[in-house]
Amino acid sequence: MYVYKKLLQKMVLLQYVGGLAGFMVLGLFIAQLVFLFASTSSRLHLGTSIYKILSLSYAPTYVLFGITLLFECLNIALALIGKPHKSHSPYLFFLYTYGIVCILIFLLFIGIYKAIFKASQFNLDISLLDYVNVLAFAALVSLALINKQEIKNQFYPLFDLAFLVLVIYFSAIIAHNALEIPAIKKVQVEIPGLKQDLKIAMLTDMHLDPNLHEKFLNGIIKKVNAQKVDMVVIVGDLVDTNPKNLEGYISKLDDLKSTYGTFYAVGNHEYYHGLSSVLNLLKTHTHMKILFNSSVDMGPLNIAGLADLAGLRWGGEYAPSLPKTTKHLNKDKPSILLTHEPRAALIYDLKDFDLVLSGHTHGGQVFPFMFLAKWRQGFIHGLYSLSPKTKIYVSSGVGFWGPAMRAFAKSEIVILNLKRK
């Protein structure tokens, strides 16, 4: 409530709409509460469209919280240095902000046009869009620096209109980053002793549930197949719902095309939804090779899968076991390990492996949680060296967990190009 209260105090435009602003705030809160209940309850079953809409209610809240925090930090900083909250060039900030807002309105119209007509001759380069996002954030900073008392009264509604446009824009970006089919991320890794170059598609953290379902999976499959890979690996958190909810379409995973097939290792969310039920679903509905504390010689190299660290809570056959995983490794060939949590590389001695593939962190998913991911897992996202021999790649993941949000941590489909060394 503090977030909304501070923002309502700053925005003149919301004073004109009176009680409507309060209903908007109340609506966001109700949507978030219903989403939270629906995502944790097995009794409430909502349609996919309704579930997505409720999930999207978190994006504007996140943006509003960030803006409020920005305002408050600037106020504190200015107070500490003994300067009033006053800009020396309010009109310069004012004009700059509206220049950026005009660009954003243009981009929003392009997006609406493409959504309605499914096509557009206008294609915006991704790198250019990143620059626009930086400019938009700078526009928010300029709004915080403007002293509205120095701007004539007739500009007040325009000031607040700019604020609303920026909130809508960033909310749309954050939600779009979560719900879109991820872009391809190509990574090259040299593997000593590899007899032939290999191309591997790496998928992690798909989190198939009422949010991400059959249509999303079809999009992933289409993108992977276009890459013509030698192998597909799925590194945990594939399932994030009652396995029965996936019986109608999980077999589509067999549509993934590759030379050597699809290999799968479990993540922590498979445990949360009943590991035995999840594994039974995958064994009966797909032809994936499930690697649970085991390895297989698939020709050019060994590929192994270590049970997730969540299994340590259950113990026994559910727990990760490195000795079982490495028992049948062909020492004359390079070896790849699939282990969902990268923290496993800090717990176990993985000297037998040339490449470790992990996920779990989501790249932080929403700023600033990447710092928490770094603290808990030791890694965030990207390629790291564990030793002169062993490297680990931590993917930011394909899907998302919880509300439909990804801020400063885009999802990815990783294409690993393994090269002979």
Task: Give the orientation angle of helix 156-179 with respect to helix 90-117, to 10 degrees.
Answer: 40
pLDDT of residue 413: 95
Taking residues 66-75, report their average pLDDT. Answer: 63
Taking residues 174-200, report their average pLDDT. Answer: 89
Asked if residue 403 has pLDDT above 60, the reply is yes
pLDDT of residue 67: 63
Could you tell me if 358 and 396 lie in one domain?
yes
Asked if residue 13 has pLDDT above 50, the reply is no
Give strand pairing partners of 186.
415
Asked if residue 70 has pLDDT above 80, the reply is no
259 vs 12 pLDDT, higher one: 259
Asked if residue 334 has pLDDT above 70, the reply is yes
Taking residues 364-390, report their average pLDDT. Answer: 82
Could you tell me if 405 and 272 lie in one domain?
yes
Q: How many domains does the chain have?
A: 2
CATH number of the domain that residue 268 is part of: 3.60.21.10
HSE-CB at 121 with a 13 A cutoff on CA atoms is 0
Average pLDDT, the chain: 76
Asked if residue 88 has pLDDT above 60, the reply is no
Residue 193, phi-psi category: left (phi > 0), alpha (psi -120 to 50), beta (remainder): left
Asked if residue 192 has pLDDT above 70, the reply is yes
Rounded-to-integer distance, Cα 367 and Cα 100, Å: 23
Could you tell me if 279 and 351 lie in one domain?
yes
Could you tell me if 75 and 139 lie in one domain?
yes
Could you tell me if 128 and 49 lie in one domain?
yes
Taking residues 16-24, report their average pLDDT. Answer: 55
Residue 324, phi-psi category: left (phi > 0), alpha (psi -120 to 50), beta (remainder): alpha
Q: Which of 161, 179, 197 delimits the end of a domain?
A: 179
29 vs 293 pLDDT, higher one: 293
Q: With bands split at pLDDT 50, 70 and 90, how would you rate the model's confidence at 294?
A: very high
Could you tell me if 259 and 372 lie in one domain?
yes
From residue 2, how far is each of 61, 64, 207, 223 by CA, in Å?
12, 11, 32, 43
Asked if residue 237 has pLDDT above 70, the reply is yes
Sign of CA dihedral 268, 271, 277, 279: positive
Rounded-to-integer distance, Cα 102 and Cα 135, Å: 12
Max Cα distance, the chain (Å): 77
Could you tell me if 174 and 192 lie in one domain?
no
Could you tell me if 14 and 67 lie in one domain?
yes
Asked if residue 205 has pLDDT above 70, the reply is yes
Could you tell me if 78 and 10 lie in one domain?
yes
Pairing of strands 183-191, 355-358: unpaired
Residues 12/160, Cβ–Cβ less than 8 Å: yes
Unique residue bearing structure tokens 């993108």: 223
Asked if residue 328 has pLDDT above 70, the reply is yes
- Give the range of the structural domain holding residue 344, as residue numbers without chain letter: 183-420
212 vs 271 pLDDT, higher one: 271
Could you tell me if 312 and 254 lie in one domain?
yes
Could you tell me if 206 and 167 lie in one domain?
no
From residue 222, how far is each of 114, 212, 219, 225, 263 by CA, in Å?
21, 15, 5, 5, 18
- 42-51 burial, b at 16+ Cβ within 10 Å, e below that, comes to eeeebeeeeb
Judge if pTM exceeds 0.95. Answer: no
Q: Which of 179, 209, 229 delimits the end of a domain?
A: 179
Asked if residue 48 has pLDDT above 70, the reply is no
Rounded-to-integer distance, Cα 383 and Cα 152, Å: 53
CB neighbour class for 206 (10 Å; exposed up to 12, middle 13-18, buried from 19)? buried
Asked if residue 134 has pLDDT above 60, the reply is no
End-to-end CA distance of the chain, in Å?
58
Could you tell me if 196 and 243 lie in one domain?
yes
Taking residues 386-404, report their average pLDDT. Answer: 88
Residue 207, phi-psi category: left (phi > 0), alpha (psi -120 to 50), beta (remainder): left
Comparing 111-115, 137-141, 290-294, the range with the smallest average pLDDT is: 111-115
Q: Which of 179, 214, 240 delimits the end of a domain?
A: 179
pLDDT of residue 127: 39
